[in-house]
Amino acid sequence: MKKLLLILSFILVSNIRAQIHQEVISFQSANPFSLSDIITDLDQQEKQSVFGNLSIPIDSLNPNKKYPLIIGVAGSMGWRKHHLDYIKMYQEEGFATFELNSFKSRGISSTVGSQDQVTTAAIILDSYRALETLAKHSNIDKDKVAITGWSLGGGVSLFSAWMPLKNIISKDLGFSAHLAFYPPCFFNPENLSFTKAPIHILIGEEDNWTPAAPCENFVNLLSENNNIGITIYPKSHHGFDSEEPVHRNENGYSFKNCLFDLTEEGDVLMNYLGIPMSNPILQKIGFLFCVDKGVSIGGNLEARKNSLLFAKNFMKLSLLNEENNL
């Protein structure tokens, strides 16, 4: 009889955990082009309505339970299956998730080969505005919110930890962890002040879209004063965690020869000329000095398996303080 009750209890708990409540959350953001637009002129930016998809586990025994939240940010091609594989995994582990839709909110499907339609600055602002909105949700633990993203979204995850930006956007709220998949690291920040929250980069050894070497240098630069780390997967390209075969994308910008200075005011400077790339035309000119077109992208099954496991353990450690074998 006891065994039967135990089995029934297990089934009941499993069914409760399997249920997910979903809702669309909208909020007001803006359309800054550059990081400097946020740091020096945030109040004057064009307003923008943005939405995302919130998923919360249902606990019918405790309807007021607050959950740790993971905000996801897609790459330049928008939300892909392999991104959603992580989202599903997090939900199965009992996390609430939020799929930020910065592209769809602006009527854009992809920014590959045109990185000025929806910029890193705009999505960083979206991420913080989402955090501010979701922090008021009755089922979200505002002190346990992580951000993760891929490629362009990886850059958002990484630079949302940069204190000159955070201090302007939101002094009271911040992310508890930052997990960046193959982000653009080819920046030399004048101000090295980043959050004390855990930051980790996952990247492929053979990535020629957002190369690994600048990320390794970036981590070495920050590691003395910040909780930052990097994992480099051997024989892996951009998008190593997808299930697609490695193929060439002729429209993607290869930044393997780029390193841009980033001023404390948020200006990204052209190589050699030192002119801020503060609008789409100046950005295109700046890219001429170091950017090539044509990149490799595709999965590595071993790296994919390892990165899914790492991501799960990283979030459980960062948000739940559960020890694991990172």
Structure confidence by residue, pLDDT tens digits, 270-283: 888 889 998 989 98
Beta bridge partners of 298: none
Give the Cα-Cα-Cα angle 241, 244, 247 (nearest 5 degrees): 110
- Comparing CA positions, the residue from 116, 86, 99 lying closest to residue 22 is 99
| Domain range list for the chain | 20-245+300-320
Least confident of 146-150, 250-254, 316-320: 250-254
Total-model pTM:
0.91
**pLDDT score recorded for residue 64:** 83
- For the stretch 190-245, pLDDT in tens is 999 999 999 999 999 999 999 999 999 999 999 988 999 999 999 999 999 999 99
| CB distance 207 to 253 below 8 Å | no
Could you tell me whether strands 20-30 and 47-57 are parallel, antiparallel, or unpaired per DSSP bridges?
antiparallel
Task: State percent of the chain over pLDDT 70.
Answer: 91
Give the Cα-Cα-Cα angle 110, 284, 168 (nearest 5 degrees): 75
**pLDDT score recorded for residue 260:** 92
Fold designation for 20-245+300-320 = Rossmann fold (3.40.50)
**pLDDT score recorded for residue 16:** 43
Task: State percent of the chain over pLDDT 90.
Answer: 74
- For the stretch 41-72, pLDDT in tens is 999 999 999 999 999 998 767 878 999 999 99
- Comparing CA positions, the residue from 60, 136, 141, 127 lying closest to residue 96 is 141
Residue 9's CB: how many other CB atoms inside 10 A?
Answer: 10
Element (H, E) at 188: strand 187-189
